[in-house]
Chain A
Amino acid sequence: MDRDQEKVDSFARRAFVVGGLQGIGVSILGWRLSWLQLVEGERYTTLAENNRINVRIIPPSRGQIVDRYGVPLATNLQNFQVIVTPEQSENLEKTLRDLQSVITVDERDIAKAIKMAKRSPSYVPVEVRDNLAWEEVSKVELALPHLPGVTIQAGELRSYPYKDSTAHIVGYVGRVSDVGKMKDSLLSLPGFQVGKSAIEKKNDLDLRGKPGRAEMEVNVHGRPVRQLGIQPPVPGARLILSIDAEFQRFVQQRLATERSASAVVMDVETGEVYACVSHPSFDPNAFSGGISAMDWEQLRDDPTLPLNNKAINGVYPPGSTFKIVTALAGLESGLINGSWTVTCPGHFDLGKSRFHCWKSGGHGTVNVVTALAHSCDTYFYKLATVIGIDRIADMARRLGLGSVYGFDLPEEKPGLIPDVKWKREVKNDIWHPGESLVSAIGQGAVETTPLQLATMLSRVVNGGKAISPWLAGYANEIPLSINLNANAPKIDIKSSNLALVRRGMEAVMEQGGTAYGSRITEEGMTMGGKTGTSQVRRISMAERASGVRRQEDLPWHLRHHALFIGYAPTDTPKYACCVVVEHGIGGSAAAAPIARDLLLEVQKRDPKSRKLEGTS
C-alpha cells in the first residue's frame, strides 16, 4: 500500500503541474479577451461599423462557339429564375402558394424549395423555378409587392441551335462536379457550368471568361443599399471553328439513312475539318438544364453509342482502304514498280495456309493500278511477302495512322498499327508471316479511326505533306490551331509513286472499278477513292467449305463494316473524306454512295474558298 501511496502522490504533484499549465493557458485567453473586448473594443467597433462592404462575384458570360462563317453553334439564352429569400418572406409556404396563383409552379418544386430553405440559413436565396417565359416574368414582376422575398434573377442557359448535328464536336456543359470545386471561387458559384465534352471541354478555359466583382454597401440587415464599385466580368472568348455548319447538318442527315455511321470531310492542304459527324447523335440542349436519369441511361446503354463521336474514337480495321498504304510501301521500297504484276487465281497459298481473295474466280493478271481499282487481295498478299510487315507499318505511321494528332477534341483515339516489335513487346509472341498478309489488306490487328483514314488520304493526295487535322481556329483574334500545318514536313515519297496510287484511286470510280456504281455523273465534277470492307467476324474453314453465309442473313452486329475514303476533284485535290457505315456489309454498296454525295456537296459549297479569320 506504501508503493501505491507513492504513486498517488506522484500523480497528484504532476497533475497539479499540468493543471497549472492549463490554468496559465486559460488565463492568457482571459487576458486576450479583455484586451480585445475592453481595451481595443472601440477600435474594433469602428472597424465593424465600416465593415459593411460585401463583395459579390459576377459570373462572366460563356463565350460563343461559331462555325467558319460566324454561324452560332453554341450561344447563351436568357434564363429567368424565380428565387425567394426565406428570411424576407414572413411565411415561406404562403408566399409560395401565392406565387402558384400567379404562375404555374409544380408541387414538386414547392416541396423542393421548402426543403432547400430548411437546409441552409434563412438569408440564403432558394431557387423556385427556372426557364420562365417572358409573360411569366412580367406576371411575377407585377405581383412582386404581394410576394415578400421573391425576386427574379436573370441567368444564362447554354443553347445549341444545330442540336444533334454538332453535338459531338461542340459538346455540352454541366454543373461542376465536386472534385474541382475548391480551386476557383468562380466554380463554386451556384449553378455555374463548365464544358463536359468535345470543344466545350477542351477549350473550357477560353470560353469561361473572367468573373467580375461588385462591391456593395449593405445595411445592418445585410441588404444591399448601394453599389460602391463594379469591375465588370470579361466574357469568354468567341471560338471560331473550321466547321461549315450547314454542310455538317447535310452530312448528319445523309448518314441518317444508316443505323450507325460516321464521316469526316477535311481540307487536304490545310487540314481544317469541314464536317465531323457521328450518327446517331443526341440533343446537347437536354444537358444544359440537367438531363433526367432515364434519358441519360437510355443514351448511355444504346448499342449504337450516340454519346460517342465515332469519327474520332471509333476504331475499325480499315479493310481494303489500307491497300493504299501497302501499295505505297511496296513502290517506295524499290522492290516493285508500276509494271510489277501478280496473277490472281482467287487465292494465295503461303505454306500450308490458303488466303482467299474476295473474288473467288480471281482477277487474272493485275498491276498496282488495276489491283487498287478491283481491290484484288491476292496482289497485296504477294506484295506483303515481298516487302514484309515493318515496311508497311512504317509507311502507315508516316501517313498518320496508329497515333493521336492532339486533335482539338479530347476524345480522340490512336488506333493500332501492328509490327514485329509490337507483337514481341505487347503480345509477347513472334510475328507469323500470315499476319503480314492479313495486315496488308487492313485486317487482323490493324485499327484506325475515320479521322485518321481521311488524314492518311489527304497526305497521299496533297503531294506528301504531313498535315494534321484541326477544328479550332481562333479564340477571338488569338490563333489556336489555325497555323498547325504552316510548316508541315514533307513525307519523303516519290511523286511518281503518289501519282500511280492516285491513278489507281481514279480507276476505282471508272468502269470495272469497285465504286463505279457510285461515280459522280455531274458535268465538271470528279472524284477518286477506295472502297473497304472490314470483317467483324472470322470466316471459318468449315463455313467456307459449306458455302459462306450471306451477310444479310447475319445479325446486325456481326455484319462487315463498310468503308470508303475519297477525294475531289481529281486533278488538284481539295477535299478528302472518310465514311464508315458500321455493319453496312460492303464499302462499295453502303459507304461509297454516301461519300459521293458528300464530295459532291462540299465541292458545290466550296468552304475552302473562304479563309478563316479571327474577330477582335
Chain B
Amino acid sequence: MSLFQSHIHSDDMSILGRLRQLAWGQIILICVLACIGFLCLYSAAGGTIDPWASAQIIRFLFSLGLLLGIALLDIRLIFRSVWVLYGGTLILLLLVDVIGHVGMGAQRWLDLGIMKLQPSELAKVTTVMALARYYHGKELADVRKIKNLLVPSIIILMPVGLVVTQPDLGTGMAIIFAGTAMLFVAGVPYWLFIVGILGAAGAVPIAWQFLLDYQKNRVLTFLNPESDPLGAGFHITQSKIALGSGGFSGKGFLEGTQSHLNFLPEKHTDFIFTLWAEEWGFLGSIGLLTLLSLIILYGYWIAFRCRNHFARLLAFGLTVNFSIYVIVNIGMVMGLLPVVGIPLPLMSYGGTAMLTVMMAFGLIQSCNVHRDAKLPRSL
C-alpha cells in the first residue's frame, strides 16, 4: 500500500470537495442533450408524454444518479477493480449466450428490474477500461514491440467474439473501432495501422461470405437505396426526405409530416435525429451537432488534463466510443453509412444504451475529479 502515494486532490478530498471538481459544464451539456431527446420522444408519440418520454425521463434521472455516484468513486478503486469488471463482463456475455441459447432466441439482456441490461453494452466500457489498465504501466518502448500486441489483441477480441455471436455485429464493430483508437494513442507504431487498414480492405470480400442475408441486404440497399424504394431502401429514402424537407428552419415542433404520418420508421429509436432535423430544420440539426461536438471536446479536454496514464487513456477511449456512436448514427440516417441499428446516445429511446453511456460519462468525470491521483506502475 505504500505505493499509493497520494496527492492532495484525490486523497483526503471530502464529498463536497469532489463535487466541486466535477466538470459541470459537460454534465449540463448532457442534460441539455437529454432534454432535446425528451422533446423528440414527446413529438414522436404524437404530442403525448406516454409512452416514451415519460419512461425515458425516469431512466435518465436514475442514470444521472449513477453518473454522479461513479464520478465520486475514488479512481484507485476503479483502477484496482478493472480486471474483475472485465472478467465479470466476459462471464455475463457467456451467460447470456448460454441462456439465450436455452431460451431459443437472441436473448441479449439481463433484467435489472427498472431496466434491462445488455452485457454487450457493458463490454464497450470494460474493454476500454482493460486496455487503459494494460497500457498504464507500459513504457513507450515496450508498447512499440510487436510481441506486446498479443495481450491487448486478446483483450479486444474476446468480448468482440462473444458479442458478434449473439449476433450483434454493430456493437462488435464499435468495440473494435474504440479498441483500435486506443492502441493508436497508446503508441503502437504507425505502419502497423497502415498494414491493418490494407489487410481489412483485403478481408472485405471474405467477410462478405460470413454476413447473414439481412446484413448483406442492408449494405446493398445502402449502396443503391433507390433499387428497392418500398422495401429495404424505404428507411433510408424516407429518412432523407424527412431531413431534406425540414429545410432551413424546420416544420415546427409537432409538425413533422414525415414522422407523424408514419413514413419515418423507428422514429423514436435509431431515426430520432431525423425527427429532430425535420421539425427544427438546418438550424436545429447543426445546433444539435454542435452540442454533441462540445460534449466530445469536453471529454478530450478531460483526457488531456489527467496526469496519470490510466485516467488519460480511459477518458480518451470512452469519449472515442461516444463519438463513434454519434457519427455512425447520424451518418446512417443521412444515407452516408449503411443502416446498422446503432442508437443515438442519450437521445434514442431505450434503457440499456442510456445506462451505459451515463456510466461511461461517470467514469470520465471520475477521471476529471481524480486527475492528479498517482497510481502504481506495476500490476
Query: A: which residues have CB within 8 A of B?
Result: 3-4, 6-8, 10-12, 14-15, 17-19, 22, 25-26, 28-30, 32-34, 36-38, 40-45, 47-49, 51-52, 54, 86-87, 117-123, 218, 220-222
Q: Which of A12, A45, A49 is in CB contact (< 8 Å) with B304?
A: A12
User: In the complex, which residues of chain A have a beta carbon less than 8 angstroms from the beta carbon of B312?
Assistant: 8, 11
B45 adjacent to A51 (CB under 8 Å): no
Contact B48 A121 (CB under 8 A): yes
Q: Decide: A48 and B303 in contact? CB cutoff 8 A.
A: no
8 additional contacts, CB 8 Å, given A49-B245, A121-B52? A11-B187, A15-B304, A18-B181, A43-B244, A48-B244, A122-B45, A122-B48, A123-B262
Q: Which of A33, A86, A121, A123 is B334 in contact with, Cβ under 8 Å?
A: A33
B334 with A26: CB separation less than 8 A: no
CB neighbours of B139 from chain A (8 A): 3, 7
Q: Is the CB of A218 within 8 A of B248?
A: no
Binds A, one of B64-72, B88-96, B216-224, B277-285: B277-285
Q: A11-B187, A32-B334, A121-B45 are in contact. Are A52 and B51 (CB under 8 A)?
A: no
Contact with A along B217-249 (1 / 0, CB 8 A): 000000000000000000000101111111110
0 or 1 for each of B257-270: is its CB under 8 Å from A? (1 = yes): 11011110000000
Pair A41/B247 contact, Cβ less than 8 Å:
yes
Chain A residues with Cβ below 8 Å from B263 are 51
B281 to chain A: closest CB distance in Å? 6
B262 proximity list for chain A (CB < 8 A): 54, 123, 222
Contact of A122 among B47, B240, B248 (CB under 8 A): B47
Contact residues in B for A49 (Cβ distance below 8 Å)? 245
User: CA–CA, A69 to B188, complex, Å?
Assistant: 83
Residues of chain B from 318 to 353 with CB closer than 8 A to chain A in the complex: 320, 323, 327, 330-331, 334, 336
* Distance of A14 Cα from B300 Cα, bound (Å): 12
Contact present for A44 and B245 (CB under 8 Å): yes
Most chain-A Cβ atoms within 10 A of its Cβ — which of B245, B263, B293, B312? B245
Cα distance, A49 to B285, chains bound together (Å): 21
| Contact between chains at A51 and B241 (CB < 8 Å) | yes
Flag whether B124 is at the interface (Cβ < 8 A).
no
For window 284-327 of B, CB contacts with A under 8 Å fall at: 285-286, 289, 293, 296, 300, 303-304, 309, 312-313, 316, 320, 323, 327
B241 touches A47 (CB 8 A): yes
Contact B304 A118 (CB under 8 A): no
In the bound complex, do residue B248 and residue A38 qualify as a contact, i.e. CB atoms below 8 Å apart?
Answer: yes
Q: How distant is the Cα of A41 from the Cα of B243 in the complex, in angstroms?
A: 8
Which residues on the B side are within 8 Å of A218 (C-beta)? 261
Closest residue on chain A to residue B331 by CB atoms: A29
For A117, the chain B residues whose CB sits under 8 A away are 50
B261 contacts which chain A residues (CB < 8 A)? 51-52, 54, 218, 222
Instruction: Name which residue of chain B comes closest to A116, CB basis.
Output: B51
Assess A33 versus B285: contact at CB under 8 Å? Given A3-B139, A38-B248: yes
The listed residue (A15, A40, A220) touching B303 by CB distance below 8 A is A15
Pick from A10, A22, A52: contact of B323, CB below 8 A: A22
**Are A44 and B243 neighbours in the complex by a CB distance under 8 Å?**
yes
A residues in contact with B313, CB < 8 Å: 11
Cα-based distance from A51 to B259 in the complex (angstroms) = 11
B140 touching A118, Cβ below 8 Å: no
Within 8 Å by CB of B184, from A18, A119, A123, A221, lies A18
Alpha-carbon gap, A283 to B309, bound state (A):
73
Measured between alpha carbons, how far is A38 from B286 in the docked complex, in Å?
Answer: 12
Once the chains are docked, how many angstroms separate the CA of A11 from the CA of B309?
9
Give the residues in chain B near A25, CB-CB below 8 Å: 323, 327, 331
Decide if B123 is an interface residue (CB 8 Å cutoff). no
Residues of A within 8 A of B323 (CB): 22, 25
In the complex the two chains form, what is the Cα distance from A48 to B248 in whole Å? 15
Nearest first, the 3 A-B pairs at minimum CB distance are: A44-B244, A48-B245, A41-B247
Q: Which of B258, B289, B331 contacts A48 (CB 8 A)?
A: B258
Closest A residue to B242 by beta carbon equals A48
Q: Is B44 an interface residue (CB 8 A)?
A: yes
Q: Which of B46, B245, B320 contacts A45 (CB 8 A)?
A: B245
Cα distance A38–B242 when bound, in Å?
13
Tell me if B185 counts as interface (CB < 8 A to partner A).
yes
Taken together as a complex, chains A and B put the C-alpha atoms of A3 and B320 apart, in Å, by 26
Q: Which of B113-163 contact A (CB under 8 A)?
A: 139-140
Chain B min CB distance to A222 (Å): 5
A18, B51: Cβ atoms closer than 8 Å: no
- Contact yes or no, B245 A41, CB < 8 A: yes
How far, in angstroms, from A26 to B330 measured CA to CA in the complex?
9
Q: Which residues of A contact B257 (CB under 8 A)?
A: 48, 51-52, 220
Knowing A29-B331, A33-B282, A44-B241, say if A14 contacts B185 (CB, 8 Å): yes
CA distance A220 to B187 in the complex (A): 56
Q: How far is the CA of A504 from the CA of B185 in the complex (A)?
A: 95
Q: Can you offer 12 A-B residue contacts whose CB atoms are under 8 A? A: A11-B309, A14-B184, A15-B316, A30-B286, A38-B282, A44-B243, A45-B244, A48-B257, A51-B258, A54-B261, A121-B46, A123-B262
Q: How far is the CA of A4 from the CA of B139 in the complex (A)?
A: 8
B46, A7: Cβ atoms under 8 Å? no
Residues in A whose Cβ lies below 8 Å from that of B303: 15
Q: Is the CB of A32 within 8 A of B277?
A: no
A46 to chain B: closest residue by CB = B245
CA distance A120 to B323 in the complex (A): 31
A34–B244 touching, CB < 8 Å: no
Distance, CA A32 to CA B239, complexed state (A): 13
Contact present for B316 and A6 (CB under 8 Å)? no
> Across the interface, do A37 and B246 meet the contact criterion of CB distance under 8 Å?
yes
Which of A6, A18, A86, A118 meets B185, CB within 8 Å? A18
Q: How far is the CA of A4 from the CA of B330 in the complex (A)?
A: 38
Chain A hits for B281, CB < 8 A: 37
Closest residue of chain A to B47, judged by CB?
A122
Contacts of B244 on A, CB cut-off 8 Å? 36-37, 40-41, 43-45, 47-48
